[in-house]
Structure 1
Amino acid sequence: MVYRGPYKVRVEEKDMPAIEHPGDAIVRVTLAAICGSDLHLYHGMMPDTRVGTTFGHEFIGVVEDVGPGVRDLERGDRVMVPFNVSCGTCWYCARGLYSNCHNVNPNATAVGGIYGYSHTCGGYDGGQSEYVRVPFADVGPTVIPEWMDDEDAVLLTDALATGYFGAQLGDIVEGDVVVVFGAGPVGLFAAKSAWLMGAGRVIVIDHLEYRLAKARVFAHAETYNFTEYDDIVVHMKKITDHLGADVAIDAVGPEADGNVTQHVTSAKLKLQGGSPVALNWAIDSVRKGGTVSVMGAYGPMFSAVKFGDAMNKGLTLRMNQCPVKRQWPRLFEHVRNGYLNPKDIVTHRIPLEHIAEGYHIFSAKLDGCIKPLIVPNGS
C-alpha cells in the first residue's frame, strides 16, 4: 500500500525491505488492519505524510530474516508487533513507557516511533504490505502463543491494547459510571474493559446506529446517539442524577476528516490538532473531581480544549499513546480465559490488492464497517 496524496492510496511494488541495523528483523506480514487513526493520514490531515509512504501500524507475521544482533527471534517465528517502535533501553522504555521512547523518532520529542504513521512519527514504513522492516526486534515483537488466533493477535497490536489502556487510565473503581465517547474499535474495547475493572454502569455515545448496536452486543453497554439530543451533555447529567459520570473516556480524538478550518488551511498548516468536540463533551459530562481519559489520536497542533472548565471542576486528565507491550501479559490472560474476544469486532477481510476500496469503505462508513483486516497476497 502506497500513499499518493489525500484520499489516494494504491498498491505498488516497492523494494524488498532489508536489514539496516544489527537489531532489525524482516517480517513477512500475514495479517494487518486499517485503524481509525489511519484515516487522519488518508485524508491528508497529518503533518509530514509523504507520498510513497506505506501505512499500517497493526500487523502480525512470520520472521523472514534477522540481523546479527537479534537474540530472541529466529526465522519462522510467528510474531505480533506492537505499533510502538521503541529502543528498550532509554529512560522511558526502562519504565515501560514504550510509546514515549526517546531514541526512535528524530522528528519529535513527545511521541516515540510508530509504524506507517508519517515522518512526524519517525518515518517508518508500515505493515499494510507483504514485508516490513522491524527495528529493535528484541524489544517490540513477541512470539504469538500457540493457542492465540491470528485475528485476535493482530487486534492486540493496537486496538484492544489501546482501549484497555484507556479504561486503565480512567482509574475505575468498583461501581463507577463510565461514559465512552466513540463506538469505533478502541471505544468498544474501552467499554468492554471498563467492566473488567469494576464499572457499575458503562455508557457509549456515538452517532452511527450500527456501531451503537455493536456496543450493546459486544460491550453490553447502554448507548445514546448524540444526534437525537439537543445537548448530549445535558442528557448525560440527567441520566446520572445531575452529577455526571465518574469517568469519561475520549476514544474519538479530532474528527478524522478534519473541520472546515482544517480543510481551508490544510495545504499549508496541517492543523491535525483538530476540533476536540468529544474531549470537551468528556470534560463537561464527567462529575466534579472525576477523571477524563484520552485515547483519541490528537496531533501536535493547537486544540481548543476547555481547560479552564477541567481545572475548576478539579478533574484528573490522563492520556498517552498506549505502551502496547506493557498491556500484553494481562490481556493475554483475558483473551485466553474468554473474557475478551477481540476478533468479534472484525467486519471486513480485504485482500491487500483491494486496499484502496477498503480505505473507502472504512472512511465513508459503508457496509456496517467497524474493523477491516488486510490480508496480504498469498497469506
Structure 2
Amino acid sequence: MEKEKIYGWAGTIIRVDLSREKIVKQPLPKDLAMNFLGGAGINAKILYDEVGPEIDPFDPENRLIFGTGPLTGTMIPTSGRYTVTAKGAFTFAFADSNSGGHWGPELKFAGYDHIVFQGRSSKPVYLWIDDDTVELRDASKIWGKDVFQSDDILKEEIGDPDIKIALIGPAGENLVRDAAIMNDRARAAGWGGVGAVMGSKKLKAIAVRGTKGVQVAHPELVEDLFKKCVEMMKGSAKYKWYSYYGKPWLTWLRNEKQKSNPTKNFTLPRVPASEFPKVDHEAFAKHIVRWKGCFNCQMHCGHVLKGLEGPFKDLIGEGYEYNQMIDGYMMGIFDLNFVLKWAVETNRLGIDCDGPAYAIAWAM
C-alpha cells in the first residue's frame, strides 16, 4: 500500500514480532488517522481489532502499542506526550497510559507514529530506532539493571547522550503488575501495568534518535495558534501557581478548600493542621533546585529537588509531585525528604508510585 501524505502524522507504523524477530513498516491508513484521532485513539482501535477477551495480559498474543498524536512534536504547547496501550497486567482489561518528557516527539522525528509489539522474545532485547534504521539488539547486559543504570549504559553503548529511551526496570522484568514504562529517567507511563506487559515480552527498552522533524500543512496558522495558546496559558490565574509549584499546589487546594486529601489509608479526609505545614506546597518549594519542562511546554511544572535534612539530606532527584505527596499522606509519613526518596526509588525500579504506597497504607 502506497504511503499517503497526512500532515501532522509521520505516516508510518512499525510492527515488531518479537517471537519471529521480524520488523515491518506499514503506512498509516488515512481513514484510521481521521476516525481515531490521536495516539490513544489509534492505539485503542489496534488493540480492539487484534486482542480478544480470552487473551491473558502476559500472553505473547497481547499487543504493546506505543502511539503519538498529530500534535506531537509540533509547536503546539504540551505536545510532548505519547500513549502506551495493552491489555493491562493490573486490571486484565483495557489499559491506556500516558507519559510526557521527550521520547514521544523523538519517535515522531524519526518518522513513526506508532510501534506495535507482539509475541515474546527468547532473550532480552531492545529496539533501536535511528531514523530509517530499525533493529532489535541484545539487551542481556542491561537486563536486571535499574532504570538509571540501563539508561546510562544504552547511551554509552550507542555513543549518543541525547537519544531518548523508554524502558522498564526490575519491576517490569519481574512482572510486577503495576510496573511502569519509564522515559527521561523520571517520566512514567504508569497506569495499568503496561511495564509488566513489556517485561513479559522480554523487551527492555526502545531507544530512539530522530532528525526528520514534523511537517504541518499550514505552518503560519500553527505558529499563530501557538502564540494564542501561550497567551491564554500565561493569562490564566492558575499559571503562576502551576508554573512555580507544579501539581503539588493541589495539595493546598484539596486540603484547605476541598478537604479531600486522602490520609492514612483514607481514615482521615485530610492531613491534620498540625502536620500540613510540613508537607504543603510551600514546604515543597524549599526543596526546589531548578525547574524542568517537557517538550515544548511553557508550564515547566517539573522540578529537580534536594533533600534538606534527615537520612536523605542532599539527595538529588527529579520529579515528585502531587501523587507522591499523597503517597506519603496515605502512609502517614509527613516528611518531604522521605517523599523525595520514595520518588527516586520508585522511578529507579520502574514502578507506579501509587501501587506500593497504597498497599503499604492498607497494611498499616
Q: Give me the TM-score of the superposition, normalised by structure 1.
A: 0.31
Q: When you count helix as a share of all residues, which structure comes out higher?
A: 2
Q: Which has the larger radius of gyration?
A: 2
Q: Give me the TM-score of the superposition, normalised by structure 2.
A: 0.32
